[in-house]
Amino acid sequence: MKIKILLVSFCLIMVSCNTKEKITGQKVKDMEITDEQQDYLGITDKAHLSAASKRALNWPKEATNDWYFEYQIQDLKGDLAYEEGVVRRDPSGIIKHDGKYYTWYTKSTGPTQGFVGDIEKVKVFPWDRCDIWYATSKDGITWKEEGVAVKRGEKGSYDDRSVFTVEIMENEGMYYLCYQTVKSPYNKRVKNQVGLAWSTSPNGPWTKSKEPILSPADNGVWIGDDLQDRFSVAKKGDFDSHKVHDPCIIPFKGKFYLYYKGEQMGEQFTFGGRQIRHGVAIADNPKGPYVKSLYNPISNSGHEICVWKYNGGIASLITTDGPERNTVQWSPDGINFEVRGAVKDAPHAIGLNRTADNEKEPTEILRWGLTHEYKNSDYQYIRRFTTINKKQHGSFTEGAK
């Protein structure tokens, strides 16, 4: 009996010791930490490191405050000022031609009804029943709406329901618009694709691709035939098995890298929020064919694509969703990205100023650009953002480089 009591007591003591060790951190024997590292990270004891301290010791040396910024937003003037009853959203990057800035965007009219009634007559999302329009400006603040650039396709075509979320690329005297497409009938299981249009002038006319240049993976399996149930799946498939969104083409290393957001069938809500990831498809020609990278997905977080060339590689601003949201990342090869900085928040649906000097500093291209904002659930409008590369504590205006 005494032996049993002693054994139980010994076990309790050992459990207590192990529990205490887990709470206070793991003792480190073989990890060398310099005095400078200890001082910089404020570590109490080199021999006892928490999981957080271990992660901090592995932070990349390149993750300096050169990648950190804060931002402000202001209203635009002219035709891009808020207009009741009109949706203007998802501005493209900004280019300059004949002394004027150009941007393209999603435009529609009327409120959002959702998936109710006759789907062929209602507007289910703000980006439903849209065309792509464009506007010009001499100063980036007052804009003139120039008209439609790309219309929805004829009935039965892959883009007959809506064309939206556009991005511009200029290459060797040609202009390319890539954008999302939806084909009727619209339902919650509909698979968005990516279309392309090209022109010798930013004012058009634009020639559209006869077929999409990018489509979702075809390896997920729905459960049942309820077209308004997008969460029931027997197999989720690849990260982009449901939708390919937010396309952006970047000329890089002699090829064309099409970055995009993937939505998976049966998308889940995780500890980082929505289960959104990014991918890339690569082509030898701007018009394709585009081949998805075998290394996809190339991010485990993010929402709208925001990428630019920097220092021989590709930088990416990751926003909104996932465990790495609100980070700025960089890749030497356009595929393998590492976190270089984290920010409090960032503008959404960014239209980058593609006229900026990308190489001046990592976030120079973010000094000003366009974003969209929700006035309410029915109507969104385009606004201007500005940022500073903040170096030290203080008010918003302090610390700019």
How far lies 152's CA from each of 4, 164, 181, 197, in Å? 80, 9, 8, 12
Buried b (16+ CB within 10 A) or exposed e, 321-331: bbebbbbbbbb
Q: What is the DSSP letter of 14?
A: H
pLDDT at res. 369: 98
Q: Residue 173 is which amino acid?
A: G
Pairing of strands 77-78, 142-150: parallel
12 three-class SS: helix
Give the domain range for residue 139.
Answer: 65-388
Residues 215, 279 within the same domain: yes
Q: Which residues of 180-198 are buried (b: 16+ CB within 10 A; e: fewer)?
A: bbbbbebeeebbbbbbbbb
Quick one: pLDDT at residue 394?
Answer: 63
What is the tally of structural domains in the chain? 2
Residues 115 and 21 in one domain: no
The total number of residues written for the chain in this structure: 401
Q: Which letter does DSSP use for residue 172 in this model?
A: T
Q: Yes or no: say if 165 and 90 are a contact pair by the CB < 8 Å rule.
A: yes
The rounded distance, in Å, linking the Cα atoms of 371 and 386 is 10
Q: What is the pLDDT of residue 99?
A: 97
Q: Looking at the structure, tell me whether residues 48 and 180 fall in a common domain.
A: no
Q: Is residue 19 part of a domain?
A: yes
Which residue is it, tokens 């291209």?
A: 365
**pLDDT value, residue 380:** 97
| Token pair belonging to 300 | 């485990």
User: How far is it, in rounded angstroms, from Cα 226 to Cα 393?
Assistant: 54
Contact 302, 274 (CB under 8 A): no
43 plus 149 within the same structural domain: no
Mean pLDDT (10-residue bins), the chain, 401 residues: 41 41 46 89 94 90 87 98 98 98 98 93 96 98 98 97 98 97 96 98 98 97 96 97 98 98 95 95 98 98 97 97 96 97 94 96 97 96 95 58 43
Looking at residue 15, its pLDDT comes to: 39
Picking from 142, 133, 140, the residue whose alpha carbon sits closest to that of residue 86 is 133
- Specify whether 45 is located in the same domain as 179: no
Q: Are 354 and 366 in contact (CB under 8 A)?
A: no
Asked if 43 and 92 sit in the same domain, the reply is no
Structural domain includes residue 278: yes
* Same domain as 205, residue 105: yes
The residues that bridge with 131 in the sheet, in sequence order, are: 107
Structural domain includes residue 98: yes
Residue 96 token pair: 């300059």
Q: Which of 39, 57, 75 is the last residue of a domain?
A: 57
pLDDT attached to residue 64: 83
Instruction: Say if 380 falls within a structural domain.
Output: yes
Domain identity same for 141 and 35: no
Q: Which residue type does 245 have? A: H
Closest CA to 151 of 185, 192, 107, 121: 107
- How far, in whole angstroms, is CA 248 from its chain's centroid? 10
Listed in sequence order, the DSSP H helices in 239-292 are: none
Domain annotation covers residue 396: no
Identify whether residues 190 and 301 lie together within a single domain.
yes
Q: Which one of 57, 75, 91 terminates a domain?
A: 57
Residue 75 near residue 82, CB atoms below 8 Å: yes
Is 72 inside any structural domain?
yes
Residues 76, 169, single domain; the answer is yes
Domain co-membership, 91 together with 187: yes
CA dihedral 248, 374, 141, 365 (to 10 degrees): -40
Element (DSSP H or E) covering residue 302: none
Q: What is the CATH number of the domain that holds 133?
A: 2.115.10.20
Could you give the 3-state DSSP secondary structure of residue 253? Answer: coil
pTM (2 d.p.): 0.90
- Centre a 10 Å sphere on the Cβ of residue 63 and count the other Cβ atoms it contains: 18
CA distance 33 to 113: 59
Q: Is residue 393 in some structural domain? A: no
The answer on 76 and 32 residing in a single domain is: no
